Structure 1
Amino acid sequence: MPDIELSREQTDHLVSKIKDYFEQELDQDIGGFEAEFLIQFLAREVGPYFYNRGLTDAQVLLNEKIEDLGYMLEEMHKVEAG
């Protein structure tokens, strides 16, 4: 899996969200620098789990659609043969 790279805008948005979370939920102030390090840590250590889950979910959905397509093709053959 390639490293997760975020744009400056995405990073700034996440920094704001993390700072708000720490302030509101944990009653602690966290600086932007610390929040960026937390984002990097989460991307490196937790990101692969979410990435893999996304791939698994996409594979399940794709398999369902392929199965549906197979049924549709089978129905078309029945109509033509009849």
Structure 2
Amino acid sequence: MFDTKKRAAIVSELQDYFDRELEAELGQFDAEFLLDFLIKKLGPAFYNQGLEDAKGVLDRRVADIADELYEIEMPDDL
């Protein structure tokens, strides 16, 4: 899912968080295992929310285009 550099940065952030907030040491293996768990369990929810957000943007843009098309309609006397 993440390239090696990004994955290493996230693992490091998890380790720092555990150290700072929980005063607990999180080893490299455990941090990677935790990251895999979070991706598996939370990833779909974040992905689906991203899709919903994108759909909302798209819906607004389509509505704007429809409004603009309505504005340039010509009168039809037939």
2:19 corresponds to: 23
Question: Which has the larger Rg?
Answer: 2
2:39 corresponds to: 43
2:57 corresponds to: 61
Following TM superposition, by how much is the alpha carbon of 1:43 offset from its aligned partner in structure 2, in angstroms? 0.6
Structure 2: gaps spanning 5 or more residues: none
Identity %: 37
Query: When the two structures are superposed, what TM-score results if normalisation uses the length of structure 1?
Result: 0.87
Query: When the two structures are superposed, what TM-score results if normalisation uses the length of structure 2?
Result: 0.91
Residues 2-40 of structure 1, C-alpha deviations (whole Å, 9 max, x = no match): xxx111111100011000100000010101111000110
Count of aligned residue pairs for this structure pair: 76
Runs of 4+ residues deviating >4 angstroms: none
